[in-house]
Amino acid sequence: MADEPLVLGIETSCDETGVGIVRGTTLLADAVASSVNDHARFGGVVPEIASRAHLEAMVPTIQRALDTAGIKASDLDGIAVTAGPGLAGALLVGVSAAKAYAWALDKPLYGVNHLASHICVDQLEHGRLPEPTMALLVSGGHSSLLLTTDITSDVRPLGATIDDAAGEAFDKVARVLGLGFPGGPVVDRMAREGDPKAIAFPRGLSGAKDPAYDFSFSGLKTAVARWVEGRRRAGEDVPVADVAASFQEAVTDVLTRKAVKACRENGVDHLMIGGGVAANSRLREMAQQRCDKAGITLRVPRPGLCTDNGAMVAALGSEMVWRGRASSSLELSADSSLPVTEVSVPHNDVHGEAYRALGGGA
C-alpha cells in the first residue's frame, strides 16, 4: 500500500554491508556487499578489515538499493540502522552513515537491535508476526531463544549460548576438517553425503538438571576435534562427510528440541527461526518435523533473508514507524553489547506523533 511507511535500513554489524528498502511489509530492494573473501585467509572475521570494507561499500550499496527500488532518497519516511550488538567499528560506520542521511534528508532516524531485526525480517515473507511468537536465533555470534510479544518493544530472552554459538561451532569444525571459511554452508553440503548416526557426538546442556533453554556447543566442538585428531594419530582416514553429518545432527537436535520445549512450556504456538544458521537445510527439516508433531506453526525466512542484510533492519524500522514508536536522536551511538531487550534506541516521539496524526500506526 502506498500509505505504508517507506524505510531504508542499513546493516553493518559484522562483515556484510547490507542496505534494504521496505514499504510496510513489502521488500523493494535488498543490496548486499560482502567482505567475506577478505577474511577467508584468516579463518574468521577481522574487525578492522570489515570496518574498512563498510566504508568503501556504503554509498554505492545505498545507491544500488535506491535504484533497485525505483525511488529517490527524498521519498523515504525514515532511516533505520543497526545500533548493536556487533563489532564496534563496523557498527560505527553504519550508524554514522545513517545519521548523515537522516540529517541531510530531514528524516527520522531509528537505531534498532540486530537480533530483533532478524526476527522482524520474517514479516517480509510471511506477513506480520503473531503475538506472541517464539524466536530461535542462530548465527555465528548468537544462539538465543526469545519470546516476542511486540517486535517493536517487548522481546524477552529465555535462553542463550553460554560459550560458542552454533555458527561459531560450524566454523571451527569446518576448520578442523579442512573445509574452509565460512563453515556453515560447506558443512551443510558435505553432511548430505554422510551418515548422521555414524558418530555419537554429545548434546550439550541436555540433561534433566541443565538449564532448560540455554545452549552450549564448546564441548561438542572439542569432541569433534578430539575424534578427528584420534583418527589422524592412528593413521586412519577421516570420514569427513560422516563427521560433518554427525556434528550437524547434534547441533540441530539440541536447537530444535529446546525451541519446541520453550513453545510448549510458554503456551506459544508459533516458532520463528532466524539468523545465518537458519539457512541450514537439516535445521529446517528437523524443525518442521518437530513443529508438525507438536502442533506448532513454523516460520523460517528464505535463506537469503536469514543471513545479515539490510532488509531486516528496514523491516523493523518500517514497523517502528507504522506503530508510531519513538525515533532516535542524531546523537545515536553504536553499542556493541546492546541487549535484545532494547529493541530500539529512542530519543523522542516527535516523528511518531506526526505519523499518527496523519493516520498511520497500528
Same domain, 313 and 287: no
Residues 252 and 108 placed together within one structural domain of the fold: no
Q: Is residue 1 assigned to a domain?
A: no
Instruction: Give the model's pLDDT for residue 67.
Output: 98
* Final residue belonging to a domain, choices 277, 301, 325: 301
CA distance 323 to 153: 10
pTM attached to this predicted model: 0.91
Q: Are 91 and 267 in contact (CB under 8 A)?
A: no
Counting the structural domains of the chain, the total is: 2
- Let me know if residue 126 belongs to a domain: no
Q: What is the pLDDT of residue 69?
A: 98
Contact in structure between 314 and 79 (CB atoms under 8 Å): no
DSSP state of 73: G
Q: Is residue 63 part of a domain?
A: yes
pLDDT at 362: 46
Residues 286 and 139 reside in one and the same domain:
yes
CA nearest neighbour of 21 among 313, 321, 355: 313
Q: How far is CA 262 from the centre of its chain?
A: 19
Confidence (pLDDT) at 2:
58
Q: Mark whether 198 and 75 lie in a shared domain.
A: no
What integer pLDDT is reported at residue 47 of this predicted model?
77
Boundary residue ending a domain (301, 322, 342): 301
339: CATH: 3.30.420.40
Residues 227 and 263 in one domain: yes
Per-residue confidence (pLDDT) for residue 346, from 0 to 100: 80
Domain identity same for 226 and 257: yes
Residue 192 is part of which domain span? 131-301
Per-residue pLDDT at 39? 63
pLDDT of residue 342: 95
One domain, residues 63 and 174: no
Q: Please give the helix or strand (H or E) that residue 65 lies within, else none.
A: helix 47-69
183: in domain: yes
Residue ending a domain, among 301, 319, 339, is: 301
User: Mean pLDDT per segment of 10 residues, for the chain of length 362 residues?
Assistant: 87 94 97 78 78 94 98 98 96 97 98 97 96 95 94 97 93 94 94 98 93 96 97 97 98 98 98 95 98 98 94 98 95 94 76 46 47
Same domain, 163 and 73: no
E strand segments, the chain: 6-11, 16-23, 26-34, 78-84, 109-113, 133-138, 143-150, 154-160, 270-274, 297-299
Regarding whether 256 and 140 lie in a shared domain, the answer is yes
User: Are 345 and 287 within one domain?
Assistant: no
Examine the domain organization and report whether 204 and 336 are in the same domain: no
